[in-house]
Amino acid sequence: MTPENQSSSDPKKRNKFREFFELNEVLGYFFRRKDPARPSNFNIRMMHGINKISIVVFLLGVMWLIYKLLLR
């Protein structure tokens, strides 16, 4: 079967759409257990802390834009 002949009920197409809206990796970044094999020093902790803050600010900005668009 060629890609042009695939139907819309193809599980691969549905999985791509579903994976687009999955937040498992984002939530896993915030709520993961400490790995004893992972190195931990001040620089790495600060880097991950700043990354978490930037993800939260980005998500708040996206929610604000959606809120503003819905109220227009």
Domain boundaries of the chain, sorted by first residue: 10-71
- Residues 9 and 31: beta-carbon distance below 8 Å: no
Q: What count of Cα atoms within 13 Å lies in the side-chain half-sphere of residue 31?
A: 4
The pLDDT tens digits for 39-59 are: 778 998 898 889 889 988 998
Task: Report pLDDT for 62.
Answer: 93
Whole-model pTM: value is 0.56
More confident residue, 9 or 46: 46
How open is the CA angle 6-10-19, to the nearest 5 degrees?
A: 125
